[in-house]
A and B are shown apart, each in its own frame.
Chain A
Amino acid sequence: EAGVAQSPRYKIIEKRQSVAFWCNPISGHATLYWYQQILGQGPKLLIQFQNNGVVDDSQLPKDRFSAERLKGVDSTLKIQPAKLEDSAVYLCASSPSVGGNTIYFGEGSWLTVV
């Protein structure tokens, strides 16, 4: 079974530029998550989708971050304009449903803002 796919794996941009990350979850998984992991910290949830609807985006900095999952399958996370403090790993994850089921993570997209 294919895992969670993410691209690009690595990206370096200058501050105030924009960047987009793509995620394709495990086939059949209704729930998709984007987490931000700053170096030396645990991952923090940015946004959670159930099919193509947003369940939780309370910690998404909406002035610069946006995410969509238009057809309930793959998803895109965009940052515009980027700040230095956005340097982090952006982890996409998916799970079959709610209620304690395992959440499977992709390998992450590593962003460096210079």
Chain B
Amino acid sequence: AQSVTQLGSHVSVSEGALVLLRCNYSSSVPPYLFWYVQYPNQGLQLLLKYTTGATLVKGINGFEAEFKKSETSFHLTKPSAHMSDAAEYFCAVSGGAGNKLTFGGGTRVLVKP
């Protein structure tokens, strides 16, 4: 069984400030980890994913995430927030047979000018 916990349902950052979204997972098998972004009235868009190999993963729009097995974490960061980063972000885990994604509850990011 797998589960994902995203700490903080809402995050507010100033434009230009660091964005840090926290994600912890539970998995009985080696996990594949994903971050998706959802803009208003749209579907989910993949930001980045970790499957195997390098634990620091770079994605689109300047985002990156680091897989830390010892901490069962996959936190998402961006050094400098932009107004266009305002959206909802979902962390997800998959693993084993089937490849289905289990999502966290999401974190809504507000960017202040």
Residues of A at the B interface (CB closer than 8 Å) are 4, 31, 33, 40-45, 48, 55-56, 91, 93, 95, 97-108, 110
Q: Which of B92-109 contact A (CB under 8 A)?
A: 92, 94-95, 97-106
B44 contacts A by Cβ under 8 Å: yes
**Chain B residues, Cβ within 8 Å of A110:** 41
A42:B43 contact, CB within 8 angstroms = no
Residues of B at the A interface (CB closer than 8 Å) are 4, 9, 32, 34, 36, 41-46, 49, 51-52, 90, 92, 94-95, 97-106
**Chain A residues, Cβ within 8 Å of B36:** 105
**Chain A residues, Cβ within 8 Å of B42:** 107-108
A48:B51 contact, CB within 8 angstroms = no
Q: When the two chains form the complex, which single residue of B51, B52, B98, B102 contacts A98, counting CB atoms closer than 8 Å?
A: B98
B99:A105 contact, CB within 8 angstroms = no
What is the chain B residue whose CB lies nearest that of A6?
Answer: B43
What is the chain B residue whose CB lies nearest that of A10?
Answer: B41
**Chain B residues, Cβ within 8 Å of A41:** 105-106
User: What are 30 residue pairs bridging A and B, where the CB atoms are less than 8 Å apart in the complex?
Assistant: A33-B101, A40-B105, A40-B106, A41-B105, A41-B106, A42-B103, A42-B104, A42-B105, A42-B106, A43-B90, A44-B103, A45-B100, A45-B101, A55-B98, A56-B100, A91-B44, A93-B44, A98-B98, A100-B49, A100-B51, A102-B34, A102-B46, A103-B99, A103-B101, A104-B46, A105-B36, A106-B43, A107-B43, A108-B43, A110-B41
A101 to B34, CA, bound (A): 10
**Chain A residues, Cβ within 8 Å of B100:** 33, 45, 48, 55-56
A100:B94 contact, CB within 8 angstroms = yes
B43 CB, nearest partner CB in chain A, Å: 4
**Chain B residues, Cβ within 8 Å of A108:** 42-43
A89 CB, nearest partner CB in chain B, Å: 8
Known pairs A48-B100, A100-B49; list 20 more (Cβ under 8 Å).
A33-B100, A40-B9, A40-B106, A42-B90, A42-B104, A43-B44, A48-B98, A55-B100, A56-B98, A56-B100, A98-B98, A100-B52, A100-B94, A100-B95, A100-B99, A102-B34, A103-B46, A103-B101, A107-B42, A108-B43
